[in-house]
């Protein structure tokens, strides 16, 4: 039977690189997680893309159902999630609703991704 050889114990401080900047706080992490959850759907990402690609970065609700190949109630649900998360602003004009990306709303998410 082989003999066990004991290895020297290393100082735990030596095994890891030190943290050089403050990680995000609990509240900020919760807020970003909610934002990421709102974005974590292909239809919602496509909605943002459609709005961003539209003239004046604004589009009517009627412009979503065909390119997304989704029913109007499903599109309305996704739009509500994006509005509630603060990514889209909704403006009613007559019988139609128009959507626009809220300026700066994607900055926190982009900043997090850039630092990872």
The residues near 43 (Cβ < 8 Å, ≥ 6 apart) are: 68, 70, 74, 75, 78
| Pairing mode of beta strands 88-93, 58-60 | unpaired
Of all residues in the chain, what percent carry a pLDDT higher than 90? 53
In the chain, the domains with their CATH numbers are 33-115 (1.10.10.10)
Quick: pLDDT tens for 49-99.
999 999 888 999 999 999 999 999 999 999 999 999 999 999 999 999 999
Backbone phi and psi for residue 60, each to the nearest 5 degrees, phi listed first? -80, 150
């Amino acid at each position: 039977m082989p003999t066990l050889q004991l290895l020297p114990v290393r100082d735990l401080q030596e095994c890891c690189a030190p943290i050089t900047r403050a990680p995000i706080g609990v509240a900020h992490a919760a807020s970003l997680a909610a934002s990421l959850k709102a974005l974590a759907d292909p239809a919602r990402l496509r909605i943002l893309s459609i709005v961003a690609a539209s003239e004046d970065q604004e589009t009517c609700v009627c412009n979503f159902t065909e390119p997304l190949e989704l029913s109007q109630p499903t599109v309305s649900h996704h739009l509500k999630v994006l509005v509630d998360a603060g990514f889209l602003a909704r403006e009613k004009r007559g019988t139609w609703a128009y959507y626009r990306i809220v300026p700066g709303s994607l900055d926190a998410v982009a900043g997090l991704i850039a630092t990872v």
